[in-house]
Amino acid sequence: MPPIKTAILSFGMSGRVFHAPFIHLHPGFELYGIWERSKSDSLQFYPGIKIFRSLEEILSDDSIELVIVNTPTATHFDLTKKVLEAGKHAVVEKAFTTTVAEAIELKALAEKQHKQLSVFQNRRWDSDFKTVKKIVQEGWLGEIMEVEIHFDRFKEELSPKPHKEIPAPGAGILNDLSPHLIDQALHLFGMPQAVFADLRITRPGSRVDDYFEILLYYPMLRVRLKAGYQVREPFASYVVHGRKGSFLKSRGDVQETNLLANQKPNLTDWGIEPETEQGLLHAEKDGKVIREKIPTLQGSYYDYYDGIYQSIRHDKAIQVTALDGIHVMQVINAAFKSSEEKRVIVL
């Protein structure tokens, strides 16, 4: 079976770090081409790759089956729509779109075109989250009552990328980081009944939201999601409390750090956290109270793309669906409304 010829729409950080290395590694894909408007930086990493100077060149190339839409969020809807109309499968970076209506329209178009459409929620394959998911699903904590998920940073300087810092659809931390945390919460617990959110601007000179706290309401469970740029000393990024115990886990996944250092992923020892980052389980086992470190599972963004391959070539269920993307956008939309109106929004 021939490999899936794939084109990437940008070779900025996401294209170079999160997409190209794993598409190149997977034998089921051919990293065929990249859209670079004026430069040819990708040739340094992938000699012989085809450089496209326009979207039209990509859309008119019938050999391309899959397109990675990893451009600024505000462009996702228009570009993905064109990709699907051209009869190609699409992977779209988070945030999926800027509105719920756009997300719904893209899902309907993909179904009409009989094409696969997935949102790139790679953080489901972080080592830390995979370990938290395992502890929750194996029932160590009993009924889950309270969860906190953080994505904290210490960074006062503004991004040099205008689309991240100028007030416009798709800008701000809620669009940038909350899709990771919201998707993880929904993946574990499903859609909440209601949402409350507090958005703030905390950095000097910032014009867009750079802090959020989101509270997801379930019948008994409460999930708190937080991110900001004024956290020099973060604590546990995952705090899970249940009727039988607690689990605390740092954000210890090493994949992004290693990829930024131009390390190439592999299928053996990639994505292994240091033992110092192991999570703490305080629960009951065989009638006895235990308090011990838990080995961290191996992270691998390769598994996301293996799922894409399986869905395109073998018609397997896609792992991150357009409906997942719609649900995340519904929570984001509710968060914006909640913060603006200072009230709980029922979904």
How many domains in the chain?
2
Strands 66-69 and 4-8: parallel
Indicate whether 243 and 103 sit together in one domain: no
Bridge partners (DSSP) of residue 280 are 248, 293
In a domain, 261, yes or no: yes
The neighbour count for residue 5, using CB atoms within 10 Å, is: 18
- From residue 326, alpha-carbon distances to 26, 105, 307 in Å are 28, 10, 19
At 296-333, the pLDDT tens digits run 999 999 999 999 999 999 999 999 999 999 999 999 99
Indicate whether 93 and 57 sit together in one domain: yes
CB 174 within 8 A of CB 212: yes
Residue of 39, 83, 90, 80 whose CA lies nearest to 58 = 83
The neighbour count for residue 169, using CB atoms within 10 Å, is: 16
Write out the two tokens for 105. Answer: 């329209």
Alpha carbon distance, N-terminus to C-terminus of the chain: 44
Instruction: Give the CATH number of the domain where residue 139 resides.
Output: 3.30.360.10
Rounded Cα distance, 68 and 264, in Å? 20
pLDDT (0 to 100) of residue 286:
84
Q: Which residue type, as a one-letter code, is found at position 328?
A: V
Indicate whether 168 and 290 sit together in one domain: yes
- Per-residue pLDDT in tens (0 to 9) along the chain, 347 residues: 899 999 999 999 999 999 999 999 999 999 999 999 999 999 999 999 999 999 999 999 999 999 999 999 999 999 999 999 999 999 999 999 999 999 999 999 999 999 999 999 999 999 999 999 999 999 999 999 999 999 998 888 888 877 778 888 888 999 999 999 999 999 999 999 999 999 999 988 888 999 999 999 999 999 999 999 999 998 899 999 999 999 999 999 999 999 999 999 999 999 999 999 999 999 998 889 999 999 999 999 999 999 999 999 999 999 999 999 999 999 999 999 999 999 999 99
In a domain, 215, yes or no: yes
Indicate whether 280 and 310 sit together in one domain: no
Instruction: Give the CATH number of the domain where residue 78 resides.
Output: 3.40.50.720
Rounded Cα distance, 156 and 123, in Å? 24
Within 153-310, strands assigned E span: 194-200, 211-217, 222-228, 238-242, 246-249, 279-285, 288-294
In a domain, 199, yes or no: yes
The CA angle 345-190-257, to the nearest 5 degrees, is 100
Q: Kindly write down the DSSP assignment for every residue of 78-103, as one continuous string.
A: HHHHHHHHTT-EEEEESS--SSHHHH
In a domain, 326, yes or no: no
Indicate whether 141 and 197 sit together in one domain: yes
Domain range for 312: 4-122+304-321
